[in-house]
Structure 1
Amino acid sequence: MTLCYIGLGSNLANPLAQIKQATLALQALPSAADISVSSLYGSKPMGPQDQPDYVNAVVQLNWSASALELLDALQQIEQDHGRERKAERWGARTLDLDIILFGQQQIQNERLTVPHYGMKTREFVLYPLAELAPELTLPCGMELSQLLNQVPKNGLTLLTATAKYNQPILSHQ
């Protein structure tokens, strides 16, 4: 099993419901176990500002298959939730699921870059991640706490309390 962190984001079609439904879909994956979810946060959109604010969270899970199989599963969940891939990189979307970390692996290929290329600068990833793994050290050797000291909250707002979501919600045997 590989300890993984998945970033979740949505700003269309009832974003709170999209994030909650995505966590349920992650629970149902046969290769996933011991799933925990951070609090939900509101954040300003990256890129074009003429779109709704986002709801974000991070999921921690243990994964028993490959990183590319996880990517395939995440893309299927996105598609099932009405995600349309467009040329506009940071446009509005019903659901965005990104592999932030896949254990301590560093992966670089045509389909996947892990750690996620933007994780070190995105408050909507770092702060929810810190709820789940405050003592985390990245594959590059940098501590998450160092990044939190460097990246301001930039308007990030807490939407739900950790106590509701930071509990393991499913464990496959």
Structure 2
Amino acid sequence: MARAFIGLGGNLGDARQTLEAAIARLADHPDLALTGRSAFYRTAPWGVLSQPDFVNAAVSVDTALAPHALLDLLLATERAFGRVRDGERWGPRTLDLDLLLHGAAAIHDERLEIPHPRMAQRAFVLLPLADIDPSLDIPGQGRVADLLETLDTHGCVRLSQA
């Protein structure tokens, strides 16, 4: 078993409802055991700024799935919620699921990079992770709480309790 951390986000339709439903779907999966969940945060868009604000969250799960198998499950879950990957980066989406960490795995291939390479620079990832485990060490990047202290979080608004 490995502890994995998954970032969730969306900004089309009722994003909070979509994230709630996606978390429930992951929690019901026989190969995942939900071990933690963050609050929801409203955050400004990243990259492409002319789009609605996002709702972001994170969950932790224990899983026996290998990293690529978990990635496949996350991609299938996105598709089930209407996500279309058309090659546009940082654009609007119904649901985005990012595999941030998978145990101690370090993978850098054409399909998957974990630890997620840019998570230490993104308050919309670190704030939810801090709800789950502020002392979490991101290999090669540092502890979540320490990394969060270096970022501007003023554009991130907590919408609910964890």
TM-score interval w.r.t. the shorter chain?
A: over 0.9
Cα deviation digits, residues 79-110 of structure 1 (max 9, x gap): 00000112220100000000011112111111
Aligned equivalent of 2:97: 97
Question: What's the offset of the Cα at 1:34?
Answer: 3.5
Aligned equivalent of 1:165: none
Contact 2:134 2:143 (C-alpha < 8 Å) held by counterparts:
no
Aligned equivalent of 1:46: 46
Contact 2:120 2:141 (C-alpha < 8 Å) held by counterparts:
no
Aligned equivalent of 2:35: 35
Say which SS state the counterpart of residue 33 (structure 2) adopts: strand
User: Identity, % of aligned pairs?
Assistant: 39
State the one-letter code of the partner of 1:15: A
Distance 1:111 1:87 in 2: 14
Say which SS state the counterpart of residue 12 (structure 1) adopts: coil
Contact 1:5 1:58 (C-alpha < 8 Å) held by counterparts:
yes
Contact 1:99 1:116 (C-alpha < 8 Å) held by counterparts:
yes
How big is the alpha-carbon RMSD for the aligned residues of Structure 1 and Structure 2? 1.1
Aligned equivalent of 2:106: 106
Distance 2:142 2:48 in 1: 30
State the one-letter code of the partner of 2:31: S
Distance 1:5 1:31 in 2: 14
TM-score (normalizing by structure 2): 0.96
Question: Structure 1: which 5+ runs fail to align?
Answer: 163-173
TM-score (normalizing by structure 1): 0.90
Aligned equivalent of 1:21: 21
Question: What's the offset of the Cα at 1:154?
Answer: 3.9
Range 141-150 or range 44-53, more displaced: 141-150
Say which SS state the counterpart of residue 101 (structure 2) adopts: strand
Number of residue pairs matched?
162
Shift of the 91–34 alpha-carbon distance from structure 1 to 2, 3 Å rule, reads closer
- Relative to total residues, which structure has the larger strand share, 1 or 2? 2
Question: What's the offset of the Cα at 1:136?
Answer: 1.1
* 2:129 aligned with 1:129: yes
Question: What's the offset of the Cα at 1:141?
Answer: 6.3
Contact 1:101 1:115 (C-alpha < 8 Å) held by counterparts:
yes
Distance 2:81 2:25 in 1: 10
Aligned equivalent of 1:71: 71
Contact 1:126 1:148 (C-alpha < 8 Å) held by counterparts:
yes
Give 4+ residue runs of structure 1 displaced > 6 Å after superposition.
none
